[in-house]
Amino acid sequence: MKSFEELDIRDDLFYAQTHEWVKKTGGNARIGVDDYAQSSLGDVVYVELPSMGTAVTAGASFGSLESTKAVSDVNSPVTGKIVAVNEALSDNPDLVNTSPYEDGWIIEVEMADSKELDALMKSDAYLAFLKTLDPVD
Amino acid sequence: MLNAIHRELKGELTDFGGWEMPLWYSTGSVKEHLYVIEKSGVFDIGHMDLLRVKGKEAFNLIQLCLTRNISKLGVGACGYSMILNEQGHVVDDTIVYNLGKDNLGKDEYILIVNAAMGPAVQRHLEQHNVFQDVTVTDESGCFSKIDLQGPASVAIIKRLLEKGRGTIEGLRYFQFRGDYSNPVSEIAFDGNIPILLSRTGYTGEVGFEIIMPYGKTLDVWNMILDAGGSDVIPCGLAARDSLRVGAVLPLSHQDIGNWPFVHTPWDFALPRDKEGKFTKDFIGSGIYDNPLSSYTYPFCGFDPRKTETHGTSVLWEEAPIGTVSTCAIDMAIGRMEGKIYSVASPDKPASFKPKGLVCGFVRVERPLEPGAKVTLKDSRRSIEVEIVSDIRPNRTARVGI
């Protein structure tokens, strides 16, 4: 996996301890997994996507990522209803690796309460959190 | 020896039987897997153990302890075999090499056994040694092993051979040339590096296993990458594992181990004649004396989703009948209209793009036929898979070179 210095952790996003990112667009939250997660997982070969309209709860799993190494749950950092699903991942699961913040987004949620974002980490807090997880190369 | 290289190449390192080994390099295991089928991949397999069995009665000891009938194994040939205990359980699997007679007229064989298994297999052989003139030497630490696998490997090896020191012309599947411990080995790499070069491998694809003196490991690794250019990439344990599953080969202590070695896809390692009778006695040849308790089958699923390897139940008509011993993804295959194709299949449909299929082995308590559907169930999910007789089609291991 990438060394700490190589990680791309972006300033305009919110992060969960389980390595999902959230981008706020109006009342919606676009959700994906971050560079740390994709780099630790290795090649993603299958994305188990939820259906449109499914209710999600902050901290609960809504799908999974299958890598050659393991299967990992993806949790929703916010509560709400799924209003968009990135269907491109069905044919190109590797977008999670190659473009985790753009083409590799997973779902979009209409948030029940955007104040939930306050419980998530900004990039500097998240970087400090990542430092506690892995010895820095 | 290659540890610094693995770090430099950004290998994802893991502990493997006490060795720090790369799971994959920066290219990722999917690309590594596909490269071996379409071009070639190089694997650091220095963790394997090597035993040399030598003496006037070396043949007798090996014939007693291996399942393979080595009376048919000519000089320069090697063969896959199981080593069983008296109960017919697997001690280890091995490739045995017949080196012929040394300059004192003594028979000489090499056994390549699994990581850290050298001492255990040596003990096993010595315990059963009722013969006079035979010694078993563990050469761990003296040698290293690098595998070069895939269709481009033939041209790469040819570029590396020292002029006048051997050829791979006419070398067939499961034949070898040379001996790494002989300075005047009949086959050598550039720079007078004596090697044992065998046309074998663990991927199911055409390729070579190269055994060289330990001190030459780094040189050979770099020579292969230089000579191969864009036709070769370093590959890690994950690709090795997924390739070997697609080729229906077992992993020691996972697919074969301390349970009866009967009703497995590897029955070919038993010495049978045309009527199915054993052609010799060997340690463990009474394996059918005990009641049958398990059957091992390869399976292949319908998409890449896999289960845990350990702790997954196998269900048949909703009743648990066994466990999963290996579960991996062969990224080079996919199903179209009910048939499995590989990227190497000459008859693949024009629109074929492999998404990968889950595959592996189940150990179950009742016989199943190919085509039977079973469910694999772990704590997360249930997936339906099909019992099959083969997994990745159109493998190249046996092509003429």
Give me the interface pTM, i.e. the ipTM: 0.83
- Checking if the pLDDT of B155 tops 80, the result is yes
The model's pLDDT over A57-104, given as tens digits with 9 standing for 90+, comes to: 999 999 999 998 888 999 999 999 999 999 999 999 999 999 999 999
Closest-CA residue of chain A to B9:
A1
pLDDT per position as a tens digit, B173-186: 999 999 999 999 99
CA-based nearest residue to B20, from B3, B32, B4: B3
Q: How far is B238 from chain A (nearest CA, A)?
A: 7
pLDDT for res A137? 37
Give the confidence band of B310 by pLDDT, cuts at 50, 70, 90. confident
Of B30, B303, B328, the CB nearest to A43: B30
Tens of pLDDT, residues A108-136: 999 999 999 999 999 999 999 999 886 54
- Structure confidence at residue A134 (pLDDT): 63
pLDDT tens for each residue of B281-292: 999 999 988 777
A66 neighbourhood in chain B, CB within 8 Å = 304-306, 329
Q: Specify the pairing of strand B233-234 against strand B41-44.
A: parallel
Give the per-residue pLDDT at B1.
65
Name beta bridge partners: B349: none
Q: Is A7 on the interface with B (CB under 8 A)?
A: no
Residues whose CB is less than 8 angstroms from the CB of residue A91 and which lie 6 or more positions away in sequence, other chains included: none
Task: Write the residue in B24, B31, B306 that is nearest to A66 by C-beta.
Answer: B306
Q: What is the mean pLDDT of residues B111-122?
A: 96
Among A64, A68, A94, select the one facing B329 at the smallest CB separation: A68
Q: Residue B8's pLDDT is what?
A: 73
Residues of A in contact with B381 (CB under 8 A): 71
Per-chain mean pLDDT for chain B? 94
Residue B60: band (very low, low, confident or very high) from pLDDT cuts 50, 70, 90: very high
> Which of A7, A66, A68, A96 to mutate against chain B (most B CBs within 10 Å)?
A68
Task: Answer whether B380 sits within 8 Å of A71, measured CB to CB.
Answer: yes
Residues B354-382 have pLDDT tens digits of 999 999 999 999 999 999 999 999 988 89
pLDDT of residue B6: 77
Rg (CA), chain A: 14
Q: Which residues of B touch A48 (CB under 8 A)?
A: 305
Q: Which of B28, B29, B304 lies at the smallest CB-CB distance from A46?
A: B304
Q: How far is B292 from chain A (nearest CA, A)?
A: 34
